[in-house]
């Protein structure tokens, strides 16, 4: 029962998020707005209720499963991939490496400097 | 009913019912997970990569279209919404560390949005990709549903962006730990931020496999990057004269 209550809470926050996105024409998706709302809700409540963690733990531990159907969608772009595969693959790999390096480096420098100043 | 008709009735049922896409996705993912565990979590056997390749192979062999598959696959895809909402919980649990690190996080966040957008567009222009491919690549470091919306605003192809976003997530998940050991990173918070900013939800999923703290920071980074990119990227690309 805890799972069902917790899952319903997640769905309700998502619905409120979707509505806010439409009403205020926000540039983010409904779920992201819902996540921010739930975060604010938790700040107000001051703790995580057991039914929420009963729903959240199984979902987050299988997060990668949820990306499989979107990944299969690559088959729709077979022709474009045949034409531009080199530019796409090189861009994907190099920019992802660049991103990991730069974000890891910047975050590391800033956080160690912060620790030293304290 | 003759045997032949029974067979074609079964095949017609399997091709149109959502149960096939659903069972196929779950079944292959289970096999991919056990293969991943048997290989002692070898990064090249990432369960999403293995599942996607296997499912596409099955669909091509059986002549099933993506739309037919998505009747069932969409049920799993739908859960991405509540899962994104659920990321608020680890975020809340890590609140004390987030408070402590807010300034480095904000600095890294803004640099990452600029680096991500400009490097993707710049490099793909240099390599001769078409305009719609460039714009489909631009938002690839944010979570798929939002990236699709940004791509549409920029003049990209939303469903191509979805696939490129998943690919970016996977590449980050595959090589993240290698890059972090090259940089000699120790702090799970720093690694989580880098994974979330680069590889959104898939990076977060990978981070959760490594530690709860890393996962929480990756989820935070993903949420922040989503907001900031959605606001900043169209403006940034027109400021540098690409749009």
DSSP class of B43: G
Torsion angle of alpha carbons A101, A102, A106, A108, nearest 10°?
-10
Is residue B72 within 8 Å of residue B22, measured between CB atoms? yes
3-state secondary structure B64-129: CCHHHHHHHHHHHHHCHHHHHHHCHHHHHHCHHHHHHCHHHHHHHHHHHHHHHHHHHHHHHHHCCC
pLDDT digits (tens, 9 = 90+) for A29-88: 788 889 889 999 999 999 999 999 999 999 888 888 988 998 898 888 888 888 999 999
The minimal CB distance from A107 to the residues B104, B159, B231 is found for B104
Q: What pLDDT does B1 receive?
A: 74
pLDDT digits (tens, 9 = 90+) for B124-149: 999 999 999 999 999 999 988 778 87
Which residues neighbour A27 within 8 Å (Cβ) at sequence distance 6 or greater? B149, B150, B230, B231
pTM value is: 0.81
Instruction: Count residue pairs from A and B with Cβ separation < 8 A.
Output: 290
Q: What pLDDT does B116 receive?
A: 95
Q: What pLDDT does B4 receive?
A: 85
Structural domain spans, chain B:
3-78, 85-239
Which residues neighbour B191 within 8 Å (Cβ) at sequence distance 6 or greater? A104, B176, B180, B185, B207, B210, B214, B217
pLDDT digits (tens, 9 = 90+) for A17-39: 999 989 998 777 788 889 889 99
Q: In whole angstroms, what is the distance from residue B117 CA to residue B106 CA?
A: 17
Q: What pLDDT does B240 receive?
A: 85
DSSP class of B17: S
pLDDT digits (tens, 9 = 90+) for B71-122: 999 999 999 889 889 988 988 888 887 888 999 999 999 999 999 999 999 9
The minimal CB distance from A100 to the residues B120, B179, B226 is found for B179
Best of A4, A32, A34, A78 to disrupt the B interface by mutation (most B CBs within 10 Å)? A32
Band of the pLDDT at B227, cuts 50, 70, 90? confident
Is residue B169 within 8 Å of residue B176, measured between CB atoms? no
Q: What pLDDT does B231 receive?
A: 77
Q: What pLDDT does A64 receive?
A: 81
**CB contacts, 8 Å: A30 with chain B:** 81
The minimal CB distance from A91 to the residues B95, B123, B144 is found for B123
Q: In degrees, to the nearest 5, what angle opens at C-alpha B186 toward C-alphas B180 and B188?
A: 85
The minimal CB distance from A28 to the residues B124, B127, B230 is found for B230
Residue of B nearest to A16 (CA): B85
Does position B42 have pLDDT exceeding 80, yes or no? Answer: no
DSSP per-residue letters across A22-90: HHHT-SS-HHHHHHHHHHHHHHHH-S--HHHHHHHHHHHHTGGGGGHHHHHGGGGGHHHHHHHHHHHHH
**Biggest alpha carbon–alpha carbon distance for chain A:** 56
Q: Higher-confidence residue: B41 or A96?
A: A96
Does position A118 have pLDDT exceeding 70, yes or no? Answer: no
Report the share of chain B in percent with pLDDT over 90. 56
Q: In whole angstroms, what is the distance from residue B217 CA to residue B196 CA?
A: 7
- Taking the Cβ of residue B68 and every Cβ of chain A, the question of whether any pair is shorter than 8 Å is answered with no
Does position B2 have pLDDT exceeding 70, yes or no? Answer: yes
Positive or negative torsion for Cα B141, B151, A72, A9 = positive
Q: What pLDDT does B239 receive?
A: 87
- Taking the Cβ of residue B141 and every Cβ of chain A, the question of whether any pair is shorter than 8 Å is answered with yes
The distance of B74 to chain A (nearest Cα, Å) reads 7
Band of the pLDDT at B235, cuts 50, 70, 90? confident
From residue A3, how far is each of A6, A49, A61 by CA, in Å? 5, 11, 14
* Average pLDDT, integer, range B168-176: 93
The candidate with the shortest Cα–Cα distance to A107, out of B187, B179, B207, B232, is B187
Q: What pLDDT does B84 receive?
A: 85
**A47: number of Cβ within 10 Å:** 8
Q: What pLDDT does B152 receive?
A: 81
Residue of B nearest to A41 (CA): B88
The candidate with the shortest Cα–Cα distance to A1, out of B119, A9, B36, B107, is A9
Structural domain spans, chain A:
1-61, 68-118
**B182: number of Cβ within 10 Å:** 12
- Taking the Cβ of residue B198 and every Cβ of chain A, the question of whether any pair is shorter than 8 Å is answered with yes
The candidate with the shortest Cα–Cα distance to B209, out of B26, B30, B74, B42, is B42
């Amino acid at each position: 029962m805890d799972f069902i209550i917790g899952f319903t809470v997640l769905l309700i926050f998502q619905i409120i998020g979707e509505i806010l996105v439409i009403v205020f024409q926000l540039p983010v998706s409904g779920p992201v707005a819902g996540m921010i709302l739930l975060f604010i809700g938790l700040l107000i409540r001051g703790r995580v209720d057991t039914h929420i963690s009963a729903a959240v733990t199984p979902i987050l531990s299988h997060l990668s499963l949820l990306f499989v159907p979107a990944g299969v969608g690559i088959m729709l772009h077979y022709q474009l991939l045949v034409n531009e595969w080199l530019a796409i693959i090189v861009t994907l790999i190099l920019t992802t490496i660049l991103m990991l390096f730069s974000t890891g480096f910047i975050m590391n420098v800033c956080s160690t400097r912060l620790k030293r100043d304290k | 009913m003759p045997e032949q008709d029974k067979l074609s009735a079964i095949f017609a049922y399997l091709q149109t019912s959502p149960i096939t896409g659903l069972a196929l996705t779950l079944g292959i993912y289970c096999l991919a997970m056990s293969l991943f565990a048997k290989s002692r979590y070898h990064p090249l056997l990432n369960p999403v990569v293995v599942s996607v390749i296997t499912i596409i192979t099955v669909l091509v062999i059986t002549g099933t279209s993506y739309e037919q598959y998505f009747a069932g696959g969409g049920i799993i895809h739908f859960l991405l919404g509540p899962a994104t909402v659920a990321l608020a919980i680890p975020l809340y649990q890590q609140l004390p560390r987030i408070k402590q690190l807010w300034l480095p996080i904000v600095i890294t966040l803004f640099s990452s949005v600029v680096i991500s957008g400009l490097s993707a567009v710049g490099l793909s222009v240099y390599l001769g990709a078409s305009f719609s491919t460039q714009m489909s690549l631009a938002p690839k470091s944010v979570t798929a549903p939002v990236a699709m919306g940004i791509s549409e605003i920029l003049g990209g192809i939303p469903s191509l962006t979805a696939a490129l976003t998943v690919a970016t997530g996977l590449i980050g998940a595959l090589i993240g730990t290698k890059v972090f050991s090259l940089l000699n990173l120790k702090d799970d918070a720093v690694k989580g931020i880098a994974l979330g900013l680069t590889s959104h939800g898939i990076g977060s999923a990978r981070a959760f496999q490594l530690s709860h703290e890393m996962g929480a920071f990756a989820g935070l980074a993903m949420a922040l990057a989503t907001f900031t990119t959605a606001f900043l990227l169209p403006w940034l690309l027109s400021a540098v004269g690409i749009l």
